[in-house]
A = this chain, B = another copy of it.
């Protein structure tokens, strides 16, 4: 909660929940990443929050952009980024979208299998691009992350050299390796084993005459939620040490893709208590229903993965365990039930609550109109 957000909310008159993003915090976060990893280029993960104001600020600061789709590439370009600062980081792309990205000037593409390599190669032929670069994503176990990644992206490290060599034969530049240690990763050493795998792929490629240049360290940098997390400098130190350990004095070019770590704690949601009730006269737990839930902003409470800090004007009063739920007629629209949330006993219907750390993965996840409720409104200040 920043003073600027507090001031903004004091004068807000509209009804319904909203998220407010403080650009000053985004700026601080960008500088923190730059300082912690001075030789690493920052590719902001646009999907975390594609607000034009956020993208324009980051473009001005010199950030690069990790884009998941042609729409995100167009957003980054509109915000002032040049195409050489854009990575098409989705390993799952329609071939016509690869063509479109190349037409827009993008040259850097994520792949994790030969079929995707072939799409990039055919697209390069079609558009007449000679300098397309690919990096191969490898699987990584994601232990220690609050929002761990499945096996959806990446191949086993043993397959990566084949994938990259295939691209090389088809005229692409085999540029490097990427991985992702899992979103909201609290373990600063999570990069170590992934870098060991990346180094092994570099060596295997070298024996095949391919000289890789780059390691994409992915995202995973956490936002501040309820659980304490290390600061960005601690991540920077641990990553630099792991890089030195596995690559010696032949350090590769590196990039990072922070999304949550860049905008998560820049955002604050203001919501309203719609109902407080009990299911039976002798229930120990109260149900607190807000006007925001899983379908209009808080999707990341899925499986209670992300526990946001919640503030009320009655903090300091005695607390009671509450199940926290959203406003829709959908029974899965319950945020915290397995581990109830402690909230003031004095909380009343109509009270405002502030949900912190909600700058990432809130607006874009919102449903268009589930139950007739509008998507989360966003103000960028």
Chain A interfacial positions (CB closer than 8 Å to B): 15, 45-47, 50, 67-72, 75, 89-96, 112-113, 115-116, 119, 139, 147-156, 158-159, 162, 272, 274-281, 287, 289, 291, 295, 299, 302, 325, 327-334, 337, 349-350, 363-375
Decide: A373 near B289, CB < 8 A? Known: A272-B94, A280-B159: no
Indicate if the CB atoms of A151 and B94 lie closer than 8 Å: no
Cα A70 to Cα B15 with chains together (Å) = 13
Decide: A372 near B329, CB < 8 A? Known: A279-B155, A287-B152, A367-B367: no
CB distance from A66 to the nearest CB of B (A): 8
**Which residue of B has the minimal Cβ distance to A327?**
B92
Decide: A151 near B372, CB < 8 A? Known: A47-B329, A93-B274: no
A-B interface, 8 closest residue pairs, ranked by CB to CB distance from nearest: A71-B372, A113-B277, A69-B372, A149-B331, A68-B371, A72-B372, A156-B280, A68-B329
CB distance from A227 to the nearest CB of B (A): 20
Indicate if the CB atoms of B367 and A329 lie closer than 8 Å: no
**Which residue of B has the minimal Cβ distance to A72?**
B372
Indicate if the CB atoms of A329 and B371 lie closer than 8 Å: no
Cα A166 to Cα B277 with chains together (Å) = 15
Cα A302 to Cα B331 with chains together (Å) = 13
CB neighbours (8 Å) of A150 from chain B are: 331-332, 334, 337
CB distance from A347 to the nearest CB of B (A): 12
Decide: A113 near B152, CB < 8 A? Known: A67-B372, A72-B372, A90-B371: no
Contact of A372 among B75, B147, B337, B369 (CB under 8 A): B75
Contact of A155 among B50, B149, B280 (CB under 8 A): B280
Decide: A139 near B279, CB < 8 A? Known: A94-B291, A150-B334, A152-B333: yes
Indicate if the CB atoms of A47 and B364 lie closer than 8 Å: no
CB neighbours (8 Å) of A47 from chain B are: 328-330, 370-372
